[in-house]
Amino acid sequence: MNTILFGSELSASGNKGRGIYYDDMRVAPTWREYRYDKLPFMNNVSFFFEDKFSMPVGRYSSLHMRAGVRSDITMIKDSEYGTMVNLSPRINVKYNFWTNKKHAVSDISLLAGWGKSVKQPSFSVLYPAPTYSDKLAFAPGTSPDGKTIYAYYTQPTTPKYNPELKCQYTLQNELGLEATILGTRISLTAFRNKTFNPYMSRNIYTPYTYKLTSQSDIESGCTIPMENRQYTIDRYTGIVTVSDLTGRIANQVIGYKERNTYVSQIEYTNGSPVERRGMDLIMDFPQIRSLRTSIRLDGNYYWYKGLNETLVASMGQASASMDGTPYKYVGYYTGTSTASNGSLSRQINGNLTISTHIPKIRMIFSLRLETSLYNYEQNLSEYADGRARGYLLEAAGDFHGTQQGGIYNKDSYVAVYPEYYTEWDNPEEKIPFLDKFLWARENDRELYQDLCKLVVKSNTTYFFNENRISAYYAANFNVTKELGKWASITIYARNFLYQMGKVKSTQTGLESSLFDSNFIPKFYYGMSVRIKL
């Protein structure tokens, strides 16, 4: 038997609302309205094709295959990225060795699957919103009549167009076994998914200069009495002029200081691959007929590792250099400008469900016990080849350490250096950070103090310790009453035992209560009614 399915889909989405705004601009003088109704619509066209094939193999076996492909086309008017097109193929194969045999193993099948799923950039990437950098350029203080004036040097920016941006996609592999053994239905599935070109954003810093006229500049350069002053500022040069309201004194141009700083612009790019693996097990035992009770045991194993090696720029929290001017250095870090550039996690969960059906009173009772048997997490700071990215510190205030013995499970603060840094007056030259940092410690104390601001550290001594959470559980309870053929009512309670036990973390050595935690669902109960028409 062979079945072919094909089709297409067209959709358009947009927002005709006013958008984000303030009714009273006096409370947000630098706010810019962002109108949704002026944004273009996102138009999507998709085409899909699927072939479903089945055939007997020999006397007892059969082969089933489903293969298909889907193409998605996204169009946004005036988007620099133009029209985005991608293909998502997929194939699933199932081989039944035999079915309904009167053996201990009455059914057995082998399953395999492969697919590629593509995620296109979001609307905010394809049609980015503007952002604004406001630097205070003029603040003369409060006038005698109680008014305060501010002037800002504004740099509007939109996320930078990246012609090298690639579509994120995931390759999905699956292998499974289904069997019935002594009446017990068993399903075991293993999967491996690897995501390539995951989307991420990073900052690009562009140097520029603006003029700052301070209160001291006004007092030293203006002889017009305060009560008679009228200020104007040139919108293009940033130069402030003071006029005399009485007309007796000529206009006076006020001095200023030039400030060298950066404007930050977002660029959307692709990160390093991320991998997920796992295994799912489901076991449905034969019904205990005397009790009309069914038992299901299911569980899963999950493994995740993500490590980003994309070069990102950051100025950290630094606002000023040692000479009092705006901070003039930009650091370039591997993966992220924090102590960690990835994580590793492993989990084993198990669940037990017991359902009892009482036909005489048309009620079903269900108890589900959900457990976490193994929960492991660890922050990573390393390169793909396993080399450590950070340095162990003896004290939180240190800036120099060692990589001897690795950085994990050492109960120590960890420092991470940027790979390179650039200076304001030469942004194109990337200077190797560590060599210059060590040189500056002995030869240029001012530069050394400035470069210290680019060193990022873990905020605790246990940040890179393995974190194993001890086992825990929660119990859920359902009671369903059928009301004739057309309706049913269900009363349910989640975490009905009101679990208030404790779990221990090996990362900190501390215990914490399960009450009101994120480990298990909060205790709640309710009722639902279902009507069949």
CB neighbour list of residue 433: distance below 8 Å, 6 or more residues apart: 331, 417, 418, 419, 420, 421, 451, 454
The helix (H) or strand (E) run that includes residue 11 is strand 2-13
Q: Output the pLDDT for position 21.
A: 87
The tens digit of pLDDT for each residue in 253-308 reads: 999 999 999 999 999 999 999 999 999 999 999 999 989 999 999 999 999 999 99
Amino acid code (one letter) for 73 = I
- Can you spell out the DSSP letters for 464-517? TS-EEEPPEEEEEEEEEEEETTTEEEEEEEETTT----EEEBTTT--EEESTT-
Q: Output the pLDDT for position 221.
A: 86
Residue 293 token pair: 């009770």
Longest CA pairwise span in the chain (Å): 113
Q: Output the pLDDT for position 148.
A: 81
SS3 318: coil
Residue with tokens 């299911």: 298
Cα distance between residue 363 and residue 413, in whole Å = 59
Instruction: From 464, 477, 376, select the one nearest 415 (Cα to Cα).
Output: 464
Q: Output the pLDDT for position 86.
A: 93
Residue 125 token pair: 């990437």
Instruction: Assess contact for 212 and 256: CB atoms under 8 A.
Output: yes
Cα distance between residue 170 and residue 116, in whole Å = 6
Instruction: From 282, 286, 287, 428, select the one nearest 357 (Cα to Cα).
Output: 287
Length of the chain: 533
- Can you spell out the DSSP letters for 235-277? TTT--EEEEETTSSS--EEPP-EEEEEEEEEEEEEE---EEEE
Q: Output the pLDDT for position 26.
A: 78
Our CA angle for 315, 321, 324, nearest 5°, is 140
Neighbour count for residue 216 (Cβ, 10 Å): 10
Instruction: From 232, 416, 443, select the one nearest 336 (Cα to Cα).
Output: 416
Residue with tokens 């601001």: 453
Alpha carbon 125 to its chain centroid, in Å, reads: 15
Cα distance between residue 193 and residue 270, in whole Å = 18
Task: Tell how strand 168-181 and strand 456-457 pair up.
Answer: unpaired
List b or e across 83-117, with b for residues whose CB sees 16 or more CB atoms inside 10 angstroms.
Answer: ebebebebebebebbbeeeeeeebbbbebebebbb
Cα distance between residue 119 and residue 170, in whole Å = 8
SS3 420: strand
Residue 60 token pair: 């007892």
Q: Output the pLDDT for position 511.
A: 93
Residue with tokens 């293969």: 67
Residue ranges of the chain with per-residue pLDDT less than 70: none
Cα distance between residue 393 and residue 319, in whole Å = 25
Burial of 209 (0-12, 13-18, 19+ CB in 10 A): exposed
